[in-house]
Amino acid sequence: MNLQTQPSPIAAGGKFDKDAEENQIIFWHSELPPVDAEPMGEHVVEAVSMRVPSSIAHRGDLWNLCCEELMAQVRLRLKQEILRLGGNYAHVLNESIHSKHDDVSAEAWLHGQFTYMLYRHVPATDSWSTDS
């Protein structure tokens, strides 16, 4: 079983995608949402990774696989919550990730809890126009 992780396109020497940045709706920690975004409230979302065998073999690779799966799940959950709550952006402020283990099934997985601020886009008003 090959459990190699794939580096991001930028880490692999790829080019930065400006369109991807303009369409970004999830912002992590030091990344800031657009300046015209208005906070709507702080929320928490939880996600779990897939379960993997909790053997000692390939432990690092399995951890990376679970971590990638967890992050994919949390991105999906954040997008769902942005839509459900009527926002436009989520800014992840804090995360807590713990490993879980089931002795009966000999499986392990990751559980994450992510605190985020929900933002909505507020269109800029044209304060220079005058109604005559």
Give the rounded percent of residues in the chain with a pLDDT score beyond 70. Answer: 77
- Give me the percent of the chain exceeding a pLDDT of 90: 66
Alpha helices in the chain (DSSP H): 18-22, 59-85
Q: Is residue 52 part of a domain?
A: yes
Q: Which two tokens stand for residue 119?
A: 């933002």
Residue 66 domain boundaries: 39-121
Which residue would you say has higher pLDDT here, 12 or 54?
54
Question: Could you tell me whether strands 107-121 and 52-53 are parallel, antiparallel, or unpaired per DSSP bridges?
Answer: antiparallel
Give the pLDDT band (50/70/90) at residue 55. confident
Locus of tokens 């005058």: 130
pTM more than 0.85: no
pLDDT at 21 over 90: no
Using only C-alpha atoms, the chain has a radius of gyration, in whole angstroms, of 19
Across 4-32, average pLDDT: 60
Structural domain includes residue 17: no
Q: State the pLDDT at residue 12.
A: 39
- Number of structural domains, the chain? 1
Residue 19 lies in a domain: no
